[in-house]
Chains A and B, each alone.
Chain A
């Protein structure tokens, strides 16, 4: 019998907060790792793995300058991005078997917290008054429309398999009965991985070598400490979506209670898992051709088709 969900105790909340803050502190490590990987694949020397720490610390020390056309939304967005991602990070069952903070651990709530991120990120672009930032915001939202159905459907199928909408319990179910519906699980996993790859802001959808202004998107007008927080928020989102994927489809090796040994081992394992995800993402990213943005939907429909196949497989109980 499945346990009900309740308000977490103080210990669990403390773990959730520590987990979120640690993720925030690890963010530059993983974005630095992506940069190292890219440099290696381009056969260049490239920066060191800690370069992003140096960049962000430098930015945080600098003055923020905003265009005179910008408003309140532009000013608060960096903070909003960081706190929404921290809230999702709190709910992820990454080192424990169940979610340490199930209040925000419902999959619908999580998906809509990602929506807050996207909403403010794009709106800040429009709010700056810059045309490039505005276009970047438009692209971000268009991409959101294209990936949302795939993301929702693949996660929803996993929720149906686990018979609960709670991320922690889905993860628990997957850890205990992984092969109840193997084909549906694998297909949903492929569709979800596809979404995660896009949500991590990877090629071929994000045009890394396109016009500098367009590539920056809503970041165009940010500077100084504000830019530092924007970068932290974006990096944290990469980390969070990667773990979102991991805790549903690779839920092994996590602590079942709050003891130091178990948590420590689980954390080490988690970091290894994350490096593997970022490694694969970097391999894919740097070996793919880019697609014109208006043709992106032709690619994303394939992802949706895979998710639909997963639904059909679920229907037949495969």
Chain B
């Protein structure tokens, strides 16, 4: 059986996984269960097919004939597409299993819809990464926007609907930029297939315009800084497993689209493109984490961290683009390797953290961290999984977040030695990445500490907290396990990413492993071995334990029954450090940067203008009605273009 046929089977399962729950309004339990099980099975097949494609590494493409006058739908299943399918599948496996119990919260409130929509979202993403045609790409991009829009507004409160409408509006602005970029391609390539786009005869100016349109358009989709506004408003109100899917995977569609246009189709011909992407990446990373630090709402905080990690991925992409433009194949592969590795890692640990947050919300019914506290005692599995996610996202060795950031550091070092502006750009980007790391460390000490450590900070935390059902635990532990595998197993995983990166950048691949060592193309620059570090850390435990045994003497065993010291007063639970208090000094020190948030953000102005234009009579167009208007206009423009024969 070929990889492609397994993949098609996965797609069919997802298709059934949409239809069955959608038809089961009367018997929601059945719908939820079938949606979850079919989604999980589809995800398993997705993992198998993508691994098969990545291992064989030959291009598998097939043209699917369509009955309409529409162009043939070619599927292209190799390299980057296969990697993206893998990313989607591993996270959706966890989310589908998790959903079986989690969605019970929504029984009677549209649980069957959530199950169907989630499978729809996954199906649309799986198709998006393999289609080889701009028309279908745009249609699927819209399908992703719409399914996620309905997932966001599922809760139905006024605030939720408002957030969802804003999301749809911003997403559509992104779509328009992407459509315009593809339109320019189409005019010059005379075809809608990506293979034709690749050979389009574009002038330098035209390709730069396409690049900028793609950066803005996919920037909206990915939640890059200044276009990120929808992330912290829309994601927190969606059901948590849907947030995990959106924040972990859906935003990566923006990165995928950007890599596709800027590197695969345009060939990253100008060095300044790379610098622009690198700068945007640095800013996203630093500001994303800075804003995350000030949040008390656990899901908003995680959403801001997505902005940060998108920034880190873009840094790698930027370095790679500079490498391609300056004809440094090693730099091109190294940067993209770091970016793709981090893309996968972020999908996994952000999915894990959102599922962990969902587990807390499932029990406590609050997103406010100040009302949590001490949960590790009552929810040990959740705490363990969440802690692994915390360590991974803080980029601490030997977990996966560290390995991908290490590659990005190595690519920046490689870049710094190549002369010109790179001598300054490299070290400054390194500093930005280091600051981001330090901020993330603080932020996640806060998150884990305030949620899981110390004493319960509210009545709910003290009484309602207990371990979540088995399927939810399984979903989280699967992702936690992947954090360990992708981190400690880096010498065996990295070559796969290097191969994909080399394939995308169209250069020969580089050496990234040497036995159990990971090396950045050359072993003179640096080496890293996460398995050896793990073993060394475990073995080094002998030293303190030996000391402890040597001085055992008459020592009594450890006791944990005292109250913390409170200067002689009686200890109370509310004395423990709060999320706000923990970061207060820091927020004071960086106050000017927080003020930037207000005028750096174009979203409010954009929303105001957009809200003003489409008002028909006294009725304001927003949400779906605005979306219909947008679709209508796009169709009219396309028809008009075909009538007057723009080629």
Contacts and interface: CB of A to CB of B under 8 A. Distances in A.
A70 B417 contact: no
B522 A71 contact: no
A50 interface: no
Nearest to B544: A82
B579 to A, nearest CB: 10
Contact of B441 (A119, A127, A135): A119
B369 to A, nearest CB: 12
B562 interface: yes
Given A60-B547, A152-B431, A229-B544, A137 B449 contact: yes
Contacts of B516: 7
B417 A90 contact: no
A72 B376 contact: yes
A148 B435 contact: yes
A224 B555 contact: yes
A229 B564 CA distance: 20
Interface in A207-236: 213, 220-221, 224-226, 229, 232
B403 to A, nearest CB: 10
A129 B558 contact: no
Nearest to A144: B438
Contact of A138 (B402, B560, B582): B582
Given A69-B374, A70-B560, A112-B395, A83 B537 contact: yes
A127 B454 contact: yes
A3 B524 contact: yes
A128 interface: yes
For the side of the interface on B, what is the size category? Answer: 35 or more
Interface stretch (B10-18, B240-248, B422-430): B422-430
B589 A64 contact: no
B525 A164 contact: yes
Interface of A is mostly: helix
Most buried by B among A60, A108, A137, A141: A108
A138 B581 contact: yes
Given A6-B514, A127-B453, A145 B439 contact: yes
Nearest to A166: B526
A297 B438 CA distance: 15
Nearest to A110: B397
B445 A131 contact: no
Most buried by B among A60, A134, A225: A134
A145 B586 CA distance: 9
Interface in A124-140: 126-135, 137-139
A103 B544 contact: no
Interface string A10-21: 000000000011
A115 B394 contact: yes
Contact of A106 (B526, B551, B585): B526
Given A7-B515, A145-B438, A64 B558 contact: yes
B551 A61 contact: yes
Given A139-B585, A145-B438, A119 B410 contact: no
B52 interface: no
Contact of A21 (B406, B442, B543, B581): B543
26 contacts: A2-B524, A5-B527, A6-B514, A61-B551, A63-B555, A64-B559, A72-B376, A73-B376, A87-B537, A106-B527, A107-B526, A112-B395, A123-B453, A126-B582, A127-B454, A129-B576, A149-B435, A149-B438, A153-B434, A156-B413, A156-B431, A160-B423, A165-B413, A165-B525, A166-B527, A226-B558
Interface of B: 374, 376-377, 387, 391, 394-397, 402, 406, 409-410, 413, 416-417, 423-424, 427, 430-431, 434-435, 437-439, 441-442, 444-446, 448-450, 452-455, 514-517, 519, 522-529, 532-533, 536-537, 540-541, 543-545, 547-548, 551-567, 575-577, 581-586, 588-589
Closest 6 CB pairs of A and B: A134-B577, A126-B449, A130-B564, A129-B454, A152-B434, A60-B551
